[in-house]
Amino acid sequence: MTKFFTRSAALLAGAAAGLPLVAAPAASAEPQVHRVVFRVFGPQLASLVFGPGPGSLALVSYKGASVDVDAKLVPLPWNIAFQSKAGDAELVRKLRLSVTRPESEQDVHGVYACEISVDGEVRARSESDLEDGGLQCVIDGSDDS
């Protein structure tokens, strides 16, 4: 007769030897999945006839662990969400969001803001009137080893 050594039998044998009955968690070979959200806010345009209207436009460029988009014209407010399987250290070195005002919006004034959140936590936020150029949100991974 063949005997099979099961996990339960191993725990009971360990308990008999005086070891605690707590099993070690199984090691996961898969990296954790992170939810990344890029957001851009800007001045809201208003019309005397129609009241508050949609926001202004902005050129956004963004880079993530698996996405790299350069100079996309978007209406504000704007956001995009994606998932990344990159490890924490790798992920933070690859998140960047840039905002500039397109030529057609040079007469629109107000505060613009960008932010990057990872797993629901805002990790980078920046504000500017874009009068002196663009705006960037970057998660700096220089503290990671």
Q: Does 14 score more than 90 pLDDT?
A: no
Question: Among 61, 92, 64, 94, which residue's Cα sits nearest to residue 78?
Answer: 61
Q: Is residue 19 part of a domain?
A: no
What average pLDDT does the segment 8-16 reach? 54
Amino acid 5: pLDDT: 47
Q: Is residue 139 part of a domain?
A: yes
State pLDDT tens for residues 98-127.
999 888 877 888 889 999 999 999 999 999
Q: Is residue 1 part of a domain?
A: no
Q: Is residue 15 part of a domain?
A: no
69: confidence class by pLDDT, cuts 50, 70, 90 = confident
- Number of structural domains, the chain? 1
Q: Is residue 4 part of a domain?
A: no
Q: Is residue 104 part of a domain?
A: yes
79: confidence class by pLDDT, cuts 50, 70, 90 = very high
The most distant pair of C-alpha atoms in the chain lies apart, rounded to whole Å, by 89
Decide which of 7 and 62 is more confident. 62
CA distances to 90, 116, 134 from 79, rounded to whole Å, are 22, 10, 18
Percent of the chain with pLDDT over 70: 65
Q: Domain range holding 48? A: 34-143
Say whether pTM exceeds 0.75: no
| Region of 47 on the Ramachandran plot (φ > 0 left; ψ -120 to 50 alpha; else beta) | beta
Which residues make beta-bridge pairs with 80?
38
